[in-house]
């Protein structure tokens, strides 16, 4: 069959292209140009394409498959980068990879794959597609350390039906590198990408301050009862649950403090003693990979990319969901709450500000 | 496979290939004083004479370069020195990048340069160099260079003509055009990639080089010239370019595309016989290029960056097109195009248009 492979230039998606090509499929490699590499690394006049696009093309050359570069800069700037800064300015802690998967990657690439007459879109994500009675199901990867299901909860059912995730069954990353090496791909030993792709230096604050300087204005640190106990240098630098950057306020009242809320309207950071929490979490922008249920749903939820599964009851509503955790914790607005039934992803949403 | 992207590069003409093969076995460096050097020099100077004659110039006024981009850059560097530079709005990046601070001369909606605007701009400027292309790479639009030259002369301005797309596809003569310099590229007229020429007016032929090196090309372009490539260049340029036999095939391709919903761009002005620019409303140009390639038909779109991504066309934007500037492809027939190529194009285009436009409504949100 004809398969479009989303190739980032990294070892994972390169191995996917190689495996599908080896299996006899007609593979079409596509690499998204998401941002101007020259601008991102602060070098004027540098080529707009970075090393990753070059690597993807060389993998395609080696395999002898078609490969195209798609300009998604404008779309990415609006749907992902601007949204990232806006979310911080609204006192949240966004997950740009989820936005990117939801918009540029899965929405746009599945549509393109259909236009090009392809039956499937394959990616190098570590998740499993399991064909169930009601269509494709999204499951956690075999390799727990690499599992990316949390980042893919917003993939819609119709997108999922179109997708292939050949790496979901891989025992570990070593096995993927071995595939790339066996196929003679130069990226076999390429280091894993780190952090957020459009912030190569790792200082996300620079990106936010450029787009939303208001999120980097100084403000007050207050206690839950409204007492001003310190100053901060921009709400975008704080995440609910964070204990760092609080200065003298960190030990207010003799107890270790953490951020319990942010208020963009007053530019205030609210702190409280560690251990504070809530057992009720409201979700927006939900995506469901199961039929709508009016009865509360018993499942396990994950509130951060690297967090434990927490038992909860979930009530679906028209435009979101209400999660009742068995044990209180301090979820960060803007992060995702993803629902699991064992290995399977049932859906999820973005955590609202309390 | 059907190659319809001649404006990117023409297939090598057999006589150019023969001339190159013969020249590749010559050992010498044309700068050497010995017998081998003289043999290489003779091949190169024969080529220079042929090319100069072909473009209405004299051998001493033709400087070999690595290609069209270098010829354009050399012209801007040498003739633009101390002058205000004006460039057409639809010029190639070879000119745009060589003159980043240039004043832009607008084009009419037809794609033809606005000569009244040029006259006003020249009246308001000091000593000037005007850069205009003879034929556009994306639309094939042919500019009224002789008229522009009269405007330039009336204001004492120099005129550089980028004839890269025109040479080999229509008569090109320095004197007839009234240009002070002319940029030519080998591979756009069926020669090998890697050679070009800047042809200069007699009184301007002593120019300052971009690359000084060993003083080759009478000090106007340093570096050992690629003798075999230049031999192929001259051989390819010897093919007559009068009355193009390609216009009928191009018109057939255009009609097929129009029947599938395409809007042809630039048809209200004279244009090259091998080129058509076709917009498909609502469908991104890069998707069209990919779909056609997967169907075995090679065409192109807009200005492809070195990454291969396709951006919106500044040429079409200059012609006043908005959304369509990102939805147009260029079909450019090579010298060896056949009816079978046109048929394959028509079939693939119809299938692509059906599939892409069927998807437009449900994905409108």
pLDDT tens-digit profile of B145-154? 999 999 999 9
A185 is a domain residue: yes
Task: State whether A66 and B294 contact (CB < 8 Å).
Answer: yes
Q: Are residues A313 and A244 in the same domain?
A: no
Q: How far is CA A253 from CA A244, A249, A257, A273, A329, in A?
A: 17, 9, 9, 9, 21
Question: Which residue ranges in chain A fall short of pLDDT 50?
Answer: 43-47
Task: State whether B311 and A71 contact (CB < 8 Å).
Answer: yes
Q: What is the mean pLDDT of residues B62-86?
A: 97
- Which of A35-39, A172-176, B212-216, B298-302 has the weakest average pLDDT? A35-39
Q: Are residues A115 and A243 in the same domain?
A: no
Q: Please give, rounded to a whole number of angstroms, the shortest distance from the CA of B264 to a CA of chain A.
A: 23
- Map residue A162 onto helix, strand or coil: helix
Instruction: State the CATH number of the domain containing residue A150.
Output: 3.40.50.620
Select the residue of A48, A111, A114 nearest B307 (Cβ to Cβ). Answer: A48
B355 contacts in A (CB within 8 Å)? 115, 117
Q: Are residues A81 and A169 in the same domain?
A: yes
A106 is a domain residue: yes
- Let me know the angle formed at the C-alpha of A226 by A221 and A228, rounded to the nearest 5 degrees: 40
pLDDT in tens, B254-296: 999 999 999 999 999 999 999 999 999 999 999 999 999 999 9
Taking 90 as the threshold, does the pLDDT of residue B308 lie above it? no
Instruction: State the CATH number of the domain containing residue A259.
Output: 2.30.30.280
From A97, A163, A197, A337, active-site residue: A197
A194 is a domain residue: no
pLDDT at A143: 96
B347: CB partners within 8 A, 6+ apart: none
Q: Are residues A38 and A142 in the same domain?
A: yes
Q: Are residues A62 and A185 in the same domain?
A: yes
pLDDT at B362: 46
Residues A179 and A19 sit within 8 Å (Cβ to Cβ): yes
Domains in chain A, number: 3
- Map residue A259 onto helix, strand or coil: strand
Instruction: State the CATH number of the domain containing residue A328.
Output: 2.40.30.10
Question: CB distance from B291 to chain A under 8 Å?
Answer: yes
Task: State whether B309 and A112 contact (CB < 8 Å).
Answer: no
pLDDT at A156: 96
Q: Number of C-alpha atoms within 13 angstroms, CB side, residue B121?
A: 23
Domain boundary among A231, A255, A273: A273
Q: Are residues A283 and A263 in the same domain?
A: no
Q: Please count the residue pairs, one from chain A and one from chain B, whose beta carbons lie less than 8 angstroms apart.
A: 51
Q: Are residues A141 and A165 in the same domain?
A: yes
| Residues of B forming the active site | 305
Q: Are residues A183 and A234 in the same domain?
A: no
Considering only residues B122 and A353, tell me which one the structure prediction assigns the higher pLDDT: B122
A202 is a domain residue: no
Taking 80 as the threshold, does the pLDDT of residue B312 lie above it? no
pLDDT in tens, B335-356: 999 999 999 999 999 999 998 8
Q: Are residues A162 and A63 in the same domain?
A: yes
Helix residue spans in B187-274 (DSSP H): 216-219, 227-237, 247-259
Smallest CA–CA distance from A37 into chain B, residue: B307
What is the value of pTM for the model shown? 0.90
In whole angstroms, give the CA distance from residue A36 to residue B100: 20
Give the domain extent around A295. 278-351
Q: Please give, rounded to a whole number of angstroms, the shortest distance from the CA of A77 to a CA of chain B.
A: 15
Task: State whether A33 and B309 contact (CB < 8 Å).
Answer: yes
A205 is a domain residue: no
In whole angstroms, give the CA distance from residue A331 to residue B40: 77
Q: Are residues A264 and A287 in the same domain?
A: no
Give the pLDDT band (50/70/90) at residue B228.
very high
Q: Is the dihedral of CA B21, B23, B36, B186 positive or negative?
A: negative
A32 is a domain residue: yes
B32: Cα separation from own chain's centroid: 34
A323 is a domain residue: yes
Active site residue A48: no
* Cβ neighbour number for residue B224 with a 10 Å cutoff: 13
Q: Are residues A59 and A148 in the same domain?
A: yes
In whole angstroms, give the CA distance from residue A239 to residue A333: 8
Q: Is the dihedral of CA B141, B142, B144, B148 positive or negative?
A: positive
For chain B, list the domains and their CATH numbers.
14-237 (3.40.640.10), 244-358 (3.90.1150.10)
- Which of A182-191, A203-212, B45-54, B187-196 has the weakest average pLDDT? A203-212
Question: CB distance from B348 to chain A under 8 Å?
Answer: no
Give the pLDDT band (50/70/90) at residue B364.
very low
Mutate to test the interface with B, among A39, A61, A68, A73 (most CBs of B within 10 A): A68
A212 is a domain residue: no
Q: Are residues A77 and A149 in the same domain?
A: yes
């Amino acid at each position: 069959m004809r398969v479009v492979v989303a190739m980032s230039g990294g070892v994972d998606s390169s191995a996917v292209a190689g495996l599908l090509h080896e299996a006899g499929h007609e593979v079409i490699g596509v690499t998204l140009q998401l941002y101007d590499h020259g601008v991102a690394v602060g070098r004027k006049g540098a080529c707009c394409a970075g090393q990753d696009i070059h690597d993807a093309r060389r993998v395609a050359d080696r395999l002898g498959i078609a490969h195209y570069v798609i300009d998604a800069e404008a779309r990415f700037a609006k749907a992902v980068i601007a949204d990232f800064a806006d979310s911080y300015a609204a006192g949240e802690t966004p997950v740009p990879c989820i936005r990117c998967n939801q918009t540029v990657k899965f929405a746009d690439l599945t549509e393109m794959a259909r236009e090009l007459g392809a039956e499937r879109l394959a990616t190098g994500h570590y998740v499993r597609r399991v064909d169930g009675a009601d269509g494709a199901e999204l499951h956690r990867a075999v390799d727990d350390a690499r599992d990316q299901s949390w980042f893919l909860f917003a993939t819609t059912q119709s997108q999922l039906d179109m997708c292939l995730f050949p790496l979901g069954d891989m025992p570990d990353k070593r096995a993927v590198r071995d595939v790339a090496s066996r196929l003679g791909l130069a990226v076999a030993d390429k280091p894993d990408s780190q952090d957020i792709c459009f912030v190569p230096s790792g200082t996300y604050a620079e990106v936010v301050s450029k787009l939303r300087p208001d999120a980097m204005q100084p403000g007050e640190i207050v206690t839950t009862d409204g007492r001003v106990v310190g100053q901060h240098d921009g709400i975008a630098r704080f995440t609910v649950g964070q204990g760092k950057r609080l200065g003298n306020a960190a030990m207010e009242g003799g107890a270790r403090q953490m951020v319990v809320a942010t208020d963009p309207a007053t530019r205030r950071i609210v702190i409280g003693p560690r251990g504070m929490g809530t057992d009720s979490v409201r979700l927006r922008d939900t995506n469901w990979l199961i039929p709508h249920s009016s009865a509360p749903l018993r499942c396990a939820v994950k509130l951060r990319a690297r967090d434990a599964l927490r038992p909860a009851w979930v009530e679906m509503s028209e435009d979101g969901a209400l999660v009742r955790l068995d044990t209180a914790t301090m979820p960060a607005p803007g992060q995702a709450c993803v629902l699991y039934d064992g290995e399977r992803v049932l859906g999820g949403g973005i955590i609202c500000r309390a | 496979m059907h190659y319809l992207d001649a404006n990117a590069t023409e297939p090598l003409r057999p006589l150019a290939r023969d001339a190159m093969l013969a020249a590749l076995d010559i050992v010498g460096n044309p700068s050497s004083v010995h017998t081998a050097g003289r043999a290489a020099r003779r091949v190169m100077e024969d080529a220079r004479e042929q090319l100069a004659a072909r473009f209405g110039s004299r051998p001493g006024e033709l400087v070999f370069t690595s290609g069209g981009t270098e010829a354009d850059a050399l012209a801007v560097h040498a003739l633009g020195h101390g002058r205000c530079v004006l460039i057409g709005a639809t010029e190639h990046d070879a000119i745009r990048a060589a003159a980043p601070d240039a004043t832009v001369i607008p084009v009419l909606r037809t794609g033809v340069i606005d000569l009244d605007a040029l006259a006003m701009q020249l009246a308001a400027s000091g000593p000037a160099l005007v850069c205009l292309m003879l034929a556009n790479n994306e639309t094939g639009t042919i500019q009224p260079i002789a008229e522009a030259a009269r405007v330039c002369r009336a204001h004492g301005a120099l005129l550089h003509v980028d004839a890269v797309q025109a040479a080999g596809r229509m008569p090109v003569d320095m004197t007839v055009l009234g240009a002070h310099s002319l940029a030519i590229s080998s591979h756009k007229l069926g020669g090998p990639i890697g050679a070009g020429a800047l042809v200069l007016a007699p009184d301007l032929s002593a120019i300052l080089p971009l690359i000084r090196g060993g003083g080759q090309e009478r000090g106007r372009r340093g570096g050992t010239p690629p003798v075999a490539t230049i031999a192929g260049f001259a051989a390819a340029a010897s093919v007559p370019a009068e009355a193009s036999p390609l216009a009928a095939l191009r018109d057939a391709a255009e009609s097929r595309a129009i029947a599938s919903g395409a809007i042809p761009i630039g048809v209200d002005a004279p244009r090259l016989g091998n080129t058509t620019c076709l917009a498909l409303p609502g469908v991104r140009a890069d998707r069209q290029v990919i779909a056609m390639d997967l169907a075995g038909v090679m065409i192109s779109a807009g200005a492809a960056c070195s990454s291969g991504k396709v951006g919106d066309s500044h040429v079409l934007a200059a012609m006043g097109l908005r959304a369509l500037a990102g939805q147009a492809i260029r079909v450019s027939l090579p010298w060896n195009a056949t009816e079978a190529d046109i048929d394959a194009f028509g079939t693939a285009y119809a299938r692509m248009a059906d599939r892409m436009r069927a998807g437009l409504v449900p994905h409108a949100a």
